[in-house]
A and B are shown apart, each in its own frame.
Chain A
């Protein structure tokens, strides 16, 4: 599902913020998951060592991606898998469609894949007359609602159960007013089982691809990826080229980190290793670049390619929790999305690196130690240098530059500001001041530190 909005993060966040009770609920729900992550991490004494090892393995992958991809391709082919390469989202979509078309199939199932969201596969296939059913419960909910997921691990975290009850009443015919999660999940199970039983092609994402063996690993809690693949004649795994890891034993490191970081679980219910297609089954892997090979050449931004899509940075982010995933208007929301998106289209996503307080919490929870908040800061500099910020922001920063680099102007501006806030508060307490939105302005101090210091030093 594409984002049709032309509004920027601040405007979309403002919309989300109109319902204060809902924002509080959203905030608390995500913080609860962050706390579960903490509890899971604290049970592992070697947690930091795990993060460091994972980070170093991923650094090694980025330095040897060329040979690892070739090794992966060769091994996968030896396993009887067809490997495809797609430079762009369009090419990825065409490859997937050509496989489906070859089998004359009109209905397919797909488990969670952020890559296919990034490539807008569903809309493309829909235009070709292919009906794609997302089988992850959360993804199915947002699909029925005609929305994109708002979170990479928890696609409908912004939906309330009563709303889901109403949605299911309309689409699945469940009784009106029934909002019991147990009941609604059972209804979805029945509904989706029919699709599993009749779909000849199953698409999955890929969590890890092992260069040493050519196998792909897909993790789910629901079992939807497996049920789809094991019943289908054709399995298509869509995989970003950065998902490669060197050896099978490295899965021990990444699978220990992934679910604990994502939801606080010790491991996902299913961690499936697809090595060879079953008898009479076809298996395809589509390797997608879409700007990744270019980003690899950037010293400042290549580390974002280490991401294993756990979503921990979103759950902890004070801005994400209070602005909602859709305010990022990109397939991947939150801090990691804000550093990935501008790499693909700087102009379209120029607002995202500013959707952060730079508190650094994202970098602290990241299981592969991506310097997320540093990259957010670096993106801001690149965006300003390239003229991709609004003229207001640009003018404001130039003004700040003048004020902060000249002590006389700085002192003058400080005392003028304090005087204004004391005697003419309406100058700052109005809707034209963005800082006044959803906040009271602070009481101005009586004097600056400079003034206090001068006075107290003299009196002593």
Chain B
């Protein structure tokens, strides 16, 4: 049997990986990620201050009725309010979230539940299973997120301690309304996503 000598052409993948293996320096062990202060009693206060500073609104409520009252009072003009929270079905229409995301274009207000908040930056961690549809938190004209007041961690390190071992297809930290300062550094709320962000803290 005669084997024909073949010229081996390396793929870009092999080429890149070979060069990296040859060139990467030795040493440099991974450092320990330090952990800073754990959640304390001031977390909710700090969360509120930071989120207010970046254009969000924090509303403390006792329960679902408090949320309903606030929505009815402040979003009376909204034509289409949607939510994945069954307790709020009295004030929202019925939406099939599995449908084409483009059908959510006319949503005025989306009310969703988040996992927890982060005091140092006013962000809320929310994953796909809470969104109904991945597009919803971004396409709605206004966004409201609900978390428990005692579910606020101090820093992002603490946040990743909670997220680290979880599984999600898509997750995001949302901190305030969509915004831009691209025109002469003038802050404008409502760039492409929601023009406002309300966070309900259930105590």
Contacts and interface: CB of A to CB of B under 8 A. Distances in A.
Interface of A: 29, 32-33, 46, 49, 52-53, 56-57, 59-60, 62-66, 69-70, 85-87, 91, 135-138, 141, 154-157, 159-161, 164, 181-182, 184-186, 189, 192-193, 196-197, 221-224, 226-227, 230-231, 241, 246, 248-253, 255-256, 263, 265-276, 278, 287, 289, 293-294, 296-297, 299, 302
B179 interface: yes
B191 A230 contact: no
Given A230-B138, A252-B157, A267-B122, 10 more contacts: A137-B180, A186-B190, A223-B191, A270-B193, A271-B123, A271-B172, A275-B168, A278-B128, A287-B16, A293-B19
A273 B33 contact: no
A35 to B, nearest CB: 12
Interface in B11-35: 11-13, 15-17, 19-31, 33-34
A231 B188 contact: no
A246 B29 CA distance: 12
7 contacts: A57-B31, A63-B24, A85-B13, A181-B184, A246-B30, A267-B175, A272-B171
B139 interface: yes
A296 B13 CA distance: 16
A193 B169 contact: no
| Interface residue tally on B, bucketed by range | 35 or more
Main secondary structure of the interface of A (DSSP, over half): helix
B178 interface: yes
Contacts of B123: 267, 271
Interface in B151-183: 155-157, 159-161, 163-164, 168-183
Q: Which of B20, B31, B184 has the most CB of A within 10 A?
A: B20
A273 B172 contact: yes
Contact of B138 (A49, A64, A223): A223
A189 B191 contact: yes
Q: Which of A136, A231, A250, A263 has the most CB of B within 10 A?
A: A231
Contact of A227 (B11, B15, B192): B192
B121 A266 contact: yes
A46 B24 CA distance: 30
A87 B15 contact: yes
A221 to B, nearest CB: 5
Contact of A66 (B20, B134, B171): B20
B42 to A, nearest CB: 14
B160 to A, nearest CB: 4
B172 A154 contact: no
B91 interface: no
A76 to B, nearest CB: 13
Nearest to A297: B23
B185 interface: yes
A196 B21 CA distance: 41
